[in-house]
């Protein structure tokens, strides 16, 4: 492993990725790297760039499907203690990229900080949630972001401030490959009132989404003014199965998997859904999950 000489402690080869994703599917990555500091991350980026090795950033694995053949390149996971750190600051919160969103929402409840409730029940880490402007019917994360620290493909670290940031439905104008941290503008409020709202959102999601079964969250983005789940439901696809993958009866925009399922089953089912919905509604569904 000459390529990563001196970094052997944080680099693994031929690493199985399935256990690192919510769907528990897919093959191994050529390299799996867990930097513990920004400096280590910068060195990894430099070596990958110099050797033309593709880089992929993995958070909690909630919004990604790994191909059965695995990933040729370096999968980089910002999971060390430093990257999970969160700090209460004046006027809000500073959170590093690897911080768990669920735990962060609960911390805000405990500390009486309002503004993150809309992220209740959304899996993932800060980095991924910021990148895709995670959210739902109750709001999105972009509405409370003050600034974002990022690292470019050249290893340079810089800060994007609010006037320079743009957030839209499941997207942002952050193109840098690595989000390092974000600052959130939150307001002080009664912890009991915040907790009440968090519980209400959680109950709503529990009643409308298949949270108890293996899934990767919503598979498709909602087309403008439409519901992807409703389009799939109206196409008669609830319960449709390909191998070990099937469309949820509870929410049609969720694909669930059984033991023994393959990533190829999910991909074939995604194609079936797209083709059927387009045939019935002339709407082409855009994927929300990433496929590696």
**What are the residue numbers of the active site?**
170, 218, 288
Helix runs in the chain, H state only: 38-50, 101-110, 126-131, 191-208, 228-234, 263-281
Contact 93, 126 (CB under 8 A): no
Inter-axis angle of helices 191-208 and 101-110, nearest 10: 150
- Rounded CA-CA distance 34/42 in Å is 12
- Alpha carbons within 13 A on the beta-carbon side of 98: 17
- Rounded CA-CA distance 155/20 in Å is 25
Burial class (CB in 10 A: 0-12, 13-18, 19+), 279: exposed
State the Cα angle at 261 between 255 and 264, rounded to 5°: 80
- Rounded CA-CA distance 252/202 in Å is 19
DSSP state of 100: B
């Amino acid at each position: 492993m000459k390529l990563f000489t001196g970094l052997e402690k944080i680099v693994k080869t031929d690493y199985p990725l399935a256990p690192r994703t919510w769907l528990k599917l897919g093959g191994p990555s050529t390299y799996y790297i867990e930097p513990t500091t920004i400096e280590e991350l910068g060195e990894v980026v430099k070596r990958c760039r110099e050797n033309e090795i593709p880089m992929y950033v993995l958070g909690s694995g909630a919004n990604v499907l790994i191909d059965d053949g695995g990933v040729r390149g370096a999968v980089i996971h910002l999971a060390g203690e430093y990257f999970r750190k969160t700090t209460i600051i004046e006027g809000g919160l500073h959170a590093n990229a690897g911080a768990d969103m669920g735990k962060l929402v609960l911390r805000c409840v405990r500390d009486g900080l309002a503004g993150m409730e809309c992220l209740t029940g959304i899996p993932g880490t800060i980095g991924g949630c910021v990148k895709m402007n995670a959210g739902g019917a109750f709001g999105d994360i972009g509405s409370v972001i003050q600034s974002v620290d990022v690292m470019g493909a050249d290893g340079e670290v810089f800060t994007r401030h609010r006037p320079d940031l743009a957030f839209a439905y499941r997207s942002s104008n952050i193109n840098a490959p690595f989000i390092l941290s974000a600052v959130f503008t939150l307001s002080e409020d009664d912890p009991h009132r915040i907790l009440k709202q968090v519980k209400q959102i959680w109950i709503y999601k529990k009643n409308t989404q298949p949270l108890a079964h293996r899934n990767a969250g919503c598979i498709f983005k909602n087309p403008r003014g439409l519901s992807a789940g409703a389009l799939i439901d109206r196409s008669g696809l609830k319960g449709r199965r390909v191998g070990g993958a099937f469309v949820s009866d509870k929410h049609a925009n969720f694909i669930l998997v059984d033991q023994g399922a393959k990533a190829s089953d999910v991909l074939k089912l995604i194609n079936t859904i797209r083709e059927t919905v387009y045939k019935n509604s002339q709407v082409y569904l855009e994927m929300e999950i990433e496929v590696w």
